[in-house]
Structure formats: structure tokens, C-alpha cells
Amino acid sequence: MGQIKLLDCTLRDGGYINDWNFGHDNLVSVFERLVDAGVDIIEIGFLDERRPFDMDRSIMPNTDCVEKVFGGLDRKQAMVVGMIDYGTCGLKNIAPCGESFLDGIRVIFKKHLREEAMAFCGELKKLGYKVFAQLVSVTSYDDGEMLDLVRLANHYKPYAVSMVDTYGLMHSNNLMHYFKLLNDNLDTDIGLGYHAHNNFQMGYANCISMLANKTDRLMVVDGTIYGMGKSAGNAPIELIAMHMNQTLGTGYNISQILEAIDSNIIQFCQQPTWGYSMFYYLAASNDCHPNYVTYLMDKRTLSISAINEILGKLEGEKKLLYDKNYIETLYVDYQNNEINDEEDRKCLSETLEKRNVLIVGPGVTLKSDKNNIIGHIEEKKPIVISVNFIPDGIEPDLLFLSNAKRYLQLATKLNNEKRRIIATSNVSETTTGSFEYKINYSTLIDTEAEFIDHSMIMLIKLLMDCGINKISLAGFDGYSAKNTNYYKRAMEYDFVKKKADYLNTYTKNFLNGIKNKAEIEFVTKSRYEDETV
């Protein structure tokens, strides 16, 4: 049997949802997670000479711009491709493959343009690229037209010919008709691909049908993360990867794709009240009650791989009989990665000794009162510690990490920057990460609280333990049930609005309770300081 390759086109097809404006950090993070998942082919966006270059978008006017966005990233085993809608990007914008970040180019075209488009594919092949001929609206081809396409393909010899179900019209019988027509007539050294759309909710099912075929030629199956794509979306690549792992023995790391959903993609999705959902995927794949998933997701402190690991510890009848106390115990036990932090605490105390400390949080005042914060830093010259994020325009001396989910969102940036990090023991270093100070999580939490691991309070406790009794706060605004709570939209957690009153009261009570032990100064306005704010 020939090779079967999984292709992700989230950054291209998903771009129809957000005008390809994923943001540069998201573009890099999605790419790196797909590489780590072991996805065979990654499509990084459109090449379109009509669009100006924008570092935040996955639609680029030429191959040189691909290098600007993705250059320097480690592709490991992955083939990297871009897409051209025939007629929107001329050869003058395509550097030879040896000078490009791209290994291949996919060319989409309608059937009436097949002669010119296939000739264009031939020119791209001369430049050294693996070229994919993408048959737009494959269901519009009659058998004669398809055989004429086969004639052209056998002449120009693209890497693969792909059936593109542009309007999601195909059922298994249609798919197999076109598959057989192409498989029986294409030269055997040309691969055969399938790109689904989900208008009839047949995308995943049709991918399974495609993969069930026995053929000696290469097969390529497309998907997108969480099915992101225009209209009804695409076949979810995490489901295709799961099926391939189970039936073909592949080893795709699905947790990395789920992390990409949670950290990079779900922000672009307005989830309906029914339909395919990552929450129910996690529950079904772990044979457990979905409330366990909801409970752990609502913590907003865990990576998806950590959630999967905790769900894997559920036992017996408890799996399907939801027990909040049971899952709370598993959560705390998982987070309590006990370490000997005595030496790290001593070193941190020496670093902070006799210094003013400013803790920076991600509230809206970080932007609105930025001048006040900078003025405070210039006057007091404190050690600046940011909490679970890296602020724009303010350079922290130390980064406090207590939230594994936030850490994964920062991982790409941290891997490229040297940062001094204080991390609690529940946060595991990435293969390229490094924590200067590692502190026991269990010593800083409040097991009696509804939210046991309040990051600002955890850091204040640590600083007090290190002998610091004068602490300034900036960007810790408290929570509003109605207004934006974070200076960046991507950081927003809806659950905090539901718990705003509780969180504000709990934090104020904590700060009032330590007045005799530490002096707390607010550099920016906060609900923790004044009820009227």
C-alpha cells in the first residue's frame, strides 16, 4: 500500500473566517504545534499578489514574505506548502524552491481553466516545488472532463491531484466514483488527495471512506484544526488523526492539536449551543461524564494534555457518575508536584533583598495608565515581576508562572527570548524552556477557596515568605461582570465575569488580612482598593 499523508490547511482555509488575521504569535504557535503533532504536510496560507504584506496574516504577496513570517522555524519532518488560486499570483512572485521556505505549492482552479492552470503547475514544478493540482468543485466535472484533466496531469506530472469538494456536496458514493476514475487512470507516481467541506456533515465520514481504499499510490487527506473553514467548515484534523492512529497505526500527537484549538483557534469560533465540540470530544475519548471536562476546563490553569492526563486517572463507575469532590481531589493531586524548593527560595530571597517590588497584571489599566506605571518604575526602580504574561512596552525583570495554560501560550516567545522565570511546580518546562526558580505549588494555594490558585495572591505569599514587605501592584483592576477585564482580548476568560463579585471580595479580604505583614500600594486603580472604581 502507498503512503498516506495528513495535510493541515487551517492557516489557509481557516483564514476565510478572520480574513487570515490570526496574529503572528498565533501563526507561529499553530505551525509549531502541528509540527510537534507530527502532521505530514502543513499549508501556511495563500500566495496572492493582490494583498499587501502583513506580518499578522497568512495571505502573502510572494514567497519572500513567507520567509518573513515563518522563517527560522523548525519544520522537523513536515512538508510546508502554500496555495495559489490560479491567476492571483504570477511566477515573478515565486522564488525557486531552493530559496524558499516552501517545499510545495497547491494550485486551485476551476475546470474551465484546467489547460492554463496545469501548464502553470508545470512551471512551478520547474522551479523545484512539489506541486498539487487542486480540482475546485470536483462534483462539477463529468467523466469526460475528468479524463481530460487526467491527460493533463499525466503530462505535467504534479506531486498530487486533489478532489476538492468545495460546496460539501459529496457522499461516499460520489467520492468513490471520482476516486476510482482518477486512481484507475492517473500515472501511479502521482498522488491522489481529498479536501472535504462539511455542508452535509460528511467531511469526516468521507475522509474515513477515502482512507479505507487500498492503493499503491500516495494518498493525501486534508483537514483543519477544529474544522475551521468557510461556510460549514472542514473535516476536523484531530478526528482524522485519531482515526488514522486507531486504524493505520500512525502516531500523531493529538494533544498538540487540541492545545492549538484551546490556545490559538477557539477564539475565532462562536460556538453554537449544539454541534461538534472539543469538550465532548475530550469526554468521549476518555469515556467519562462531560462535567469532568467542564470542571477542568473552567480552571483555566491546565493544558489540554494535562486535562487528558487527569481524565485518564478516573476509575470505575466514577467515570460516568460525576463527582465534584472526586475530580477536585484529582486536580489538586495532579498540581501538587512536590519538589525541594529550599535552595530556590533562598536564591530568590537574595535576589529580592532590600528591593522594591512591582507586580504587573494584565488588566485594562496596564494600557490606560501605562504612563503612571512607567513613571513609578523610573522613580522607584523596583524589581518588576509580571504574572503569567509578558506586558507590551514594560520590560519585566522576572516572569511568575503559575498557570500551565498561559505558559503554553507563551512558550514560543519564551523559547526565542531569554527570560528569568519563577515557576510553580505544577508548570512543566518545555524541552527548550528553563526556569531559574521552581517553587512548590502546594505552599502557595488556598485549598479552602473556590479558586485555590489565584496567581496574584500566590506571588504575594511567595514574596512575603522571601522577606518582602513592601509590594506595589499595577494592572490588577479587579473583575467586572460587564466590561472587558484584560488589556488584550485574547486573554479574556468569560468565567471570571460570572464570578466577578466572589473574586473581588476574596482578593480584598486577603489583602486586608495581610495589612499588618506587608504594605500594598496600588499604582493603578483597582476594585481591590476602592469599591467605587
Domain CATH number, residue 42 = 3.20.20.70
358: in domain: yes
Q: How many domains does the chain have?
A: 3
Q: How confident is the model at residue 74 (pLDDT cuts 50, 70, 90)?
A: very high
Examine the domain organization and report whether 100 and 203 are in the same domain: yes
**Residue 497: Cβ within 10 Å count:** 16
Examine the domain organization and report whether 176 and 88 are in the same domain: yes
- Interval 102-146: pLDDT, tens: 999 999 999 999 999 999 999 999 999 999 999 999 999 999 999
Q: What pLDDT is recorded for position 530?
A: 52
Examine the domain organization and report whether 92 and 125 are in the same domain: yes
Rg (CA), the chain: 26
Examine the domain organization and report whether 210 and 236 are in the same domain: yes
Q: What pLDDT is recorded for position 284?
A: 92
171: in domain: yes
393: in domain: yes
Q: How confident is the model at residue 406 (pLDDT cuts 50, 70, 90)?
A: confident
User: What mean pLDDT value characterizes the chain?
Assistant: 93
Mean pLDDT, residues 160-181 taken together = 95
Taking a C-beta distance cutoff of 8 angstroms, is the pair 372, 524 a contact? yes
533: in domain: no
Q: What pLDDT is recorded for position 533?
A: 37
Q: What pLDDT is recorded for position 497?
A: 79
Domain that holds residue 195: 4-268
Percent residues over pLDDT 90 in the chain = 79
Partnered with residue 471 across adjacent β-strands are 357, 520
Q: What pLDDT is recorded for position 277?
A: 84
435: in domain: yes
Examine the domain organization and report whether 10 and 123 are in the same domain: yes
Examine the domain organization and report whether 237 and 289 are in the same domain: no
DSSP per-residue letters across 129-164: -EEEEEETTGGG--HHHHHHHHHHHHHH--SEEEEE
Domain boundary among 244, 268, 292: 268
* pTM of the complete model beyond 0.85: no
Taking a C-beta distance cutoff of 8 angstroms, is the pair 251, 215 a contact? no
528: in domain: no
Taking a C-beta distance cutoff of 8 angstroms, is the pair 461, 467 a contact? no
- Interval 490-530: pLDDT, tens: 777 767 778 899 999 999 999 999 999 999 999 999 999 85
Res. 532: pLDDT tops 50: no
Examine the domain organization and report whether 282 and 259 are in the same domain: no
531: in domain: no
Amino acid at 354: K
Domain boundary among 210, 239, 268: 268
Examine the domain organization and report whether 256 and 289 are in the same domain: no
Examine the domain organization and report whether 185 and 51 are in the same domain: yes
**Cell (9 digits) for 216:** 499503491
Q: What pLDDT is recorded for position 272?
A: 65
Examine the domain organization and report whether 331 and 354 are in the same domain: no
- Chain CA centroid to CA 157, Å: 35
Res. 412: pLDDT tops 80: no
Partnered with residue 8 across adjacent β-strands are 42, 223
The three-class DSSP label of residue 437 is strand
Domain boundary among 313, 335, 357: 335
Examine the domain organization and report whether 234 and 192 are in the same domain: yes
Q: What pLDDT is recorded for position 18?
A: 95
- Interval 26-43: pLDDT, tens: 999 999 999 999 999 999
- Among 177-186, 217-226, 318-327, 414-423, where is mean pLDDT lowest? 414-423
Res. 410: pLDDT tops 90: no
502: in domain: yes
CA-CA-CA-CA torsion sign (344, 450, 314, 226): negative
Percent residues over pLDDT 70 in the chain = 98
Q: What pLDDT is recorded for position 217?
A: 97
- Interval 186-197: pLDDT, tens: 999 999 999 999
Examine the domain organization and report whether 141 and 111 are in the same domain: yes
Q: What pLDDT is recorded for position 271?
A: 64
